[in-house]
Amino acid sequence: MALVVALALAGCGGAPRPSAELPAAGRPRIALLPFDNLTTDGGAGELMSLLFFTEVGAAGHYEPVETGIVVAVLESLGIRSAAALTVDQIQTIGTRLDVSRLLVGSVLESGTVRTAEGGLPAVGVTLKLLDVNDGRVVWTRMGFKTGEDKETVFGWGRERSAKQLAANLAVEMVRALPAPPASSATRGGTP
């Protein structure tokens, strides 16, 4: 019995996620806009949007707005691509969704790279974090991964699953996302 309690307290699922400790009401809201897909893989944008949405919520710094609500607002404004938003559009989206930040992404690569042992998955993404008050870019990042990035010897560490590789990239990039200022619990910056 003591072993079961010790395991439960230690946590068997890896490092604890901050979101379990932070109530949603204390976190600023963020809208993750659907990723633009600049690849020939028709489902790459949707997959990356889902993976990054999940990781942003799990990281615990922001409360992400439900994807369907974000899509409905974009459709009502006639916005098909988030790649080149105007300041007015950014501010309008921010007001309608009551968010302090927008996270905008593009899928640059979703395919395979050829190696001596065969094809391995490859993914690439750009992200930018926008302040809805003035439309400025607060943070930006580009990330690429291939299935052989973590390979050591004789294929150990090689990732053959494209979805898992994309999930690994999402985790790494969201970890680099800056935490919001302590005073930005609401859109206007006042708690």
Q: Is 94 a domain residue?
A: yes
Phi-psi domain of 37 (left: phi exceeds 0; alpha: psi -120 through 50; beta: other): beta
> Per the domain annotation, does 11 fall within a domain?
no
Residue 160: per-residue pLDDT: 75
Question: What is the number of helices (H) and of strands (E) in the chain?
Answer: 5, 6
- pTM given for the model: 0.79
Assign residue 84 the CATH number of its domain.
Answer: 3.40.50.10610
The single-letter code of the amino acid at 183 is S
**39 within domain boundaries:** yes
For residue 105, give every residue at least 6 positions away whose Cβ sits within 8 Å of its Cβ, in sequence order, or none: 32, 33, 35, 36, 48, 49, 52, 125, 126, 127, 128
pLDDT tens for the chain, residues 1 to 191: 443 334 333 433 333 344 344 445 689 999 999 999 999 999 999 999 999 999 999 999 999 999 999 999 999 999 999 888 999 999 999 999 999 999 999 999 999 888 777 788 999 999 999 999 999 999 999 999 988 776 655 555 678 789 999 999 999 999 999 988 766 554 444 33
Sole residue written with tokens 């935490």: 179
Residue 181 falls within a domain, yes or no? Answer: no
- pLDDT for 4 equals 37
- According to the model, what pLDDT value does residue 148 have? 78
Q: Say how far apart CA 44 and CA 46 lie, in whole Å.
A: 6
Full domain range(s) for residue 89 = 26-176
Quick check: is 17 in a domain? no
- Integer CA distances (angstroms), 80 to 7, 89, 101, 152, in order: 48, 12, 19, 42
In this prediction, residue 39 carries a pLDDT of 95
Amino acid 110: pLDDT: 94
Q: Is residue 73 part of a domain?
A: yes
Q: Is 190 exposed, middle or buried (0-12, 13-18, 19+ CB in 10 A)?
A: exposed
Q: How many domains does the chain have?
A: 1
**162 lies in some domain:** yes
